[in-house]
Every structure is written in structure tokens, then in C-alpha cells.
Amino acid sequence: MFFKKYGDLVAGIFFLALSFFLYIMADALPPSILGGIGSDFFPKIMAIATCILSFFQIRSGFKTMRSRKPEEKEAAEEEEYKPEYLRVLATIALFTIYVFTLGPVGFLISSTLYLFLQIIVLSPKDKRSLRDIIIYAIISIVSCVVIYFVFRRGLNLMLPTGILG
């Protein structure tokens, strides 16, 4: 019951503290020998993004605290809620397969397949029509290609090429 009322707020504060810690630890990384973007660049970007998202999470936590329903309605909500363990197990299985296929198959193919299947696993059953599946496939392909080119061209970092290399 505590986490239903204060869960968003606690998570927001935790991730805010984590983002500050990540930013401070990124400063401890050695600077780039060649100049330009060093090994501290991406962790600092992630820390800033996490900090910004934490503020939104904290704001959501305050809204949730103010709009909590009386205790009688919470009991009815708990009866309606059914945990979906199958989705959790499917996510763990997909991630395990992804980790083992990333090297041999390559980033583009394995990441696109992983992202597509993960979206399907997490999407509601009413959002699995042919039109939605095509949209999920397009999102998966475009995101992985964009990420690949950002790392390859923008950051000059190699990602596993696998069977395409």
C-alpha cells in the first residue's frame, strides 16, 4: 500500500540520486587522448537524461499522492489486478537470447528482432493487429538503424557486425 501511494515519488528520488552519482563518477573517467568525445561523454549524457526524467517522475509521484482513492476502493483494485508472470518470463528469455546472439548475428539483426519481439510481448492484446505489428516492425528497424549509425558515424564506435560483416 505504501508503494501504491508513494512509489512514483520514491522511484523519482532514487533515480535523481543515481543520476547525480553517475555524473560524478563519469568525471572520474580518464579523458580522451585524441581529444573530442571521450569515455565520459555518454555516461554524462545518460546522467543528465536520467536527472530530467527523474523530475518528471517526482512530479508524477506528487500527483499520485494527491489523487489517491479511499481505502475501500483500493481493495477492489487489488482484486482486479492480476500479475502477468508470463510477460516477465518472456522478457527474461528474449533478453537472454539477445545477449547470446548479439556477437554472432550482429547488432542490427539481433537488436531489431529483440526490439520487435519485446514490443509485441509488452503490448496489450488489443494492440496486436496486423497494422500494429507492421508499425512495431518499422519502429524496430528504424530505431536500430539510427542507433547503429549514431554509434558508427557520430561516435566512431564499432558495434558487432556479425553475419553482415
CA distances from 127 to 86, 116, 134 (A): 18, 14, 11
Q: What is the pLDDT of residue 115?
A: 92
Closest CA to 164 of 98, 122, 102: 102
Q: What is the pLDDT of residue 113?
A: 93
CA distances from 4 to 7, 9, 15, 88, 132 (A): 6, 10, 18, 20, 31
The C-alpha cell at 14 is 532514487
Mean pLDDT of 94-113: 88
Mean pLDDT of 115-129: 88
Q: pLDDT tens across 81-96, in order? A: 666 788 889 889 999 9
Per-residue pLDDT at 72 exceeds 50: no
Give the whole-number percent of the chain exceeding pLDDT 70. Answer: 82
Domain ranges across the chain: 2-80, 85-164
How high does pLDDT run on average in the chain? 81
